[in-house]
Amino acid sequence: MKFSLRLALASAALLFGLAQTTSAQDDGTAFMVTYIEVAPSATEQTAELLTEYTEASRGMGGNMGFQALQRIGQTNHFAILEIWRDAQTRDAHAGSARAERFRTSLDPLLYSPIDAREHGDLATAAGAEVGADGVFAVTHVDVTPNNTDIAVELLNTLAAESRRDNGNGRFDVLVQSNRRNHMTVVEAWEDAAAREAHYGAEHTITFRASVFPLSGALYDERLYRSL
């Protein structure tokens, strides 16, 4: 009962502060989040392909960030996080010969089709590098269309508060270009302990309780290490 009352009061405080949060920055920066699942026997080969692809893509004009990740616990699952100056440079890279060769090399290794999702900027900020022990979380947040605006504000507030957590290197919220009610949260933490502490923080608990009734699908959170 005490926990329920505390949670209700915290939720009310968070909702009261929604008007002070920021909305989509809309500065033209373009993002791509890609999910890759391959046969377990192809895990090492895929990691090598991704490492080479990442290094080459970082040198392409207009690139502002290119991160390849390997899932913790399911090492045959990978993700790519891309940041581009604008949609034109992102699309130019996606249509490049380099990207085509990469997709062709991956094709016989795949368990399911490559899932590449274009995103825009919702709530991002300059971050810091995390070391070899760093833990990344990539979460797909899907809410019903009528609850989009509320979810956006909740995510903006969560991002602002979570960036102040000890050990946080990055906490960004992206919005899927073709479905505004689908958002992706990208987190980077110095280590697993920092990530676990964030789970138990008051603002995290409040957010999860507040967004739960708005959800259109399961809260899909996946943990990764950097390749």
Sign of CA dihedral 37, 39, 44, 46: negative
Residues counted in the chain: 227
Per-residue pLDDT band at 129 (split at 50, 70, 90): confident
> Cα–Cα distance between 47 and 214 in angstroms, integer?
36
Cα atoms in the 13 Å half-sphere on the side-chain side of 44? 1
Q: What is the pLDDT of residues 138-191, one digit of tens each?
A: 999 999 999 999 999 999 999 999 999 999 999 999 999 999 999 999 999 999
Please give the model's pTM, rounded to 2 decimal places. 0.86
Instruction: Quote the DSSP letter at residue 71.
Output: E
Q: What is the pLDDT of residues 13-71, one digit of tens each?
A: 333 333 333 334 456 899 999 999 999 999 999 999 999 999 999 989 999 999 999 99
pLDDT of residue 27: 67
Residues 38, 76: contact at Cβ < 8 Å? yes
- Counting residues of the chain whose pLDDT is more than 90, the rounded percentage is 82
